[in-house]
A and B are shown apart, each in its own frame.
Chain A
Amino acid sequence: MKNLKVFLIAALFVLSIGLLTACGTEEETGQNEDTTEENNTAEGKETEVDNEQELSGEIALDGSSTVLPIMEFLTYEYNQVKPEVETALNSSGSGGGFKKSTVGEIDFSNASRPIKEEEIALAGENGIELYELELAYDGLSVVVSQENDFLENITIDELREIFLAESGKTKWSEVNSEWPEEEIIIYSPGHDSGTFDYFNEVVLEENPMREGEGVTLSEDDNTLVTGISSDPYAIGFFGYAYYIANEDTLKVLGIDNGDGNPVKPNGDTIQDGSYSPLSRPLYTYVNVDYLKEKPQVHDFAVYALENAGAAAEQVGYVALPQEKIQEQINAINELAGK
């Protein structure tokens, strides 16, 4: 009984301390946040004078899960060079990132699609300007199973007939009489993903996609890969990196954009733009005010651009041409007044 009492008292002691600290912080936080920015700018001025190496402060990044691997590479390598700068990288989707960047919560907003008009407007209302930086290219790959023996290339029109709800075609033979009389099984990224947005824009032209029987939507690209590779009558699309990682079970289709000359995605065709219209740039949007005020944001932006090529290659995307990188670095320096 006595043991128990000691235990109990000790437990309650710990609990109450916990509660006190919890309450204490709520009041402090507000002040903390106010002072952080001042601190950053103050430190920034010092470091500018002193030495670039002593950069510190925080960088907050969020946005597309497609861009996440590149950004993880960049923040990781940056941390090796500038360990004093704390980076926090999140991935809540392109739209989720813009939700935070348009109210000024984060420094970089990663996106696998360009910013929308309404998002620009929202940022404007809050007095925020976001500057677009291209990091790399991604080729949206349309894939079928390796077991599929009737498809090598496909035209955009055929894609539309397969994926559009209004076409009403559910069998391969209905799209092209040479194809087998089998149900078309569709695997597509979920509607929240930038990948779907992109496909929706360039192929479906914002018309509703088929849904219901025979259509699987998933935010997890590995689900799509598994589903497509095991069914010869399945078709789907996702980022180029996922195709490259699963080359042995998937077959990528050449895309014919109407000129009768199908192009398959690879490093060259994606970079030179001939894999059209399904190659897309991957972006990060930097908050212009923070770019000017926080030296670590500017420093990271330059670092990110300089190393985006290496990052892209490491994670399976395609690097930008060197001139384009330099152009953007110059623009950034000009914006930040350096």
Chain B
Amino acid sequence: MQTNTFSINRMRRRVIVNQVFKYIFIFSMSLALLALALLIYRILNQGLGSLNIDFLRQFPAPYPEKAGLFAGIMGSLYLMFLIAPISITIGVSTALYLEEYAAKNKFTRFIQINVQNLAGVPSIVFGLLGLTFFVYLFSLGYTLIAGALTMSLLILPVIVVASQEAIRAVPEDIRAASIAMGATKWQTIWRIVLPASIPGILTGSILALSRAIGETAPLIIVGAAAAIYTIPDSLTSKYTAMPIQIYNWTTRPQEEWQYLAGAGIIVLLIILLLMNSIAIWIRNKFQSRY
């Protein structure tokens, strides 16, 4: 009898604890969703009125009604076209070396940990690095290529880590099978490992690129212009980027600029969402399970 009430009490307590945690989790999720909904509502509310074709086509201007994001959009796209090849080539190569070639010893682990740490370094630090190396040491000046190289450095660790995960997920069995068929290491990598890991690598890379497109701090340091009336025509051109223009508008006192900033944020969000959708699409399309 006594044991019976004891176990019923225990049961009841477990059920209550279960319920409590369920509601805590639901509450946390709603908080996150609420924040997202508020953000989207505020931005749409503020920016939708200023968002039109002219806004996408015009250069910055001292008059809110004539100002546009064109220089920023083009600048950001040019940056992407430079950052993507640079960072993905170097990043994937690094990951391949670490996973496939490097001996599994303390030194490799040390590099591994440092790459992971680098992924968490604040972006402003990469800006300072870019300023010291690309702008001054390589005397690239405040140019498009200096900005692109800096941003490539910024997202490189993220790409390395993501690619490593993807490469590691390729089963050892099919590697062994390939080697057993007489393939060299490189043939195995090229024909077996890379095709199998490409979805993971590209997903990681595109997410990293999305981070780069939204960054402001490093670009300010390596000298992206606040107001410019030409789009880059060479790697050594002056440039600006979307977040720089948006930031510039939010710091103005007059209310109209805040609306423009809102419109700019909408454009940036759309481009970000597009990039993320591409990442998801690639993952689904090329995914194959072993």
**Chain A residues within CB distance 8 Å of chain B:** 1, 4-5, 7-8, 14-19, 21-22, 25-26, 28-30, 32-33, 58, 60, 65, 68-69, 71-73, 75-77, 79, 83, 86-92, 105, 220-222, 225, 239, 241-242, 244-246, 311, 314-316
Contact = CB atoms under 8 A, between A and B. Distances in A.
Contacts of A242: 253
B124 to A, nearest CB: 13
Contacts of A29: 138-141, 143, 145, 235-236
A129 to B, nearest CB: 22
B251 A65 contact: yes
4 A-B pairs closest in CB distance:
A18-B85, A245-B253, A73-B62, A88-B238
A311 B62 contact: yes
B225 A88 contact: yes
A220 to B, nearest CB: 6
A62 to B, nearest CB: 8
Contacts of A60: 142, 238
B62 A314 contact: yes
B54 to A, nearest CB: 15
Contacts of B271: none
Contacts of A246: 253
Nearest to A12: B89
Contacts of A222: 250-251, 253
Contact of A221 (B82, B141, B228, B253): B253
A186 to B, nearest CB: 20
Interface string B200-234: 00000000000000000000100111111110000
Interface of B: 59-63, 81-82, 84-86, 88-89, 138-143, 145, 148-149, 194-195, 198, 220, 223-230, 235-236, 238, 248, 250-255, 286
B62 A315 contact: yes
Most A CB contacts (10 A, CB to CB) among B62, B223, B253 go to B253
Given A18-B84, A87-B228, A32 B236 contact: yes
A69 B88 CA distance: 38
Nearest to B258: A222
Given A18-B85, A222-B250, A90 B225 contact: yes
A212 B104 CA distance: 51
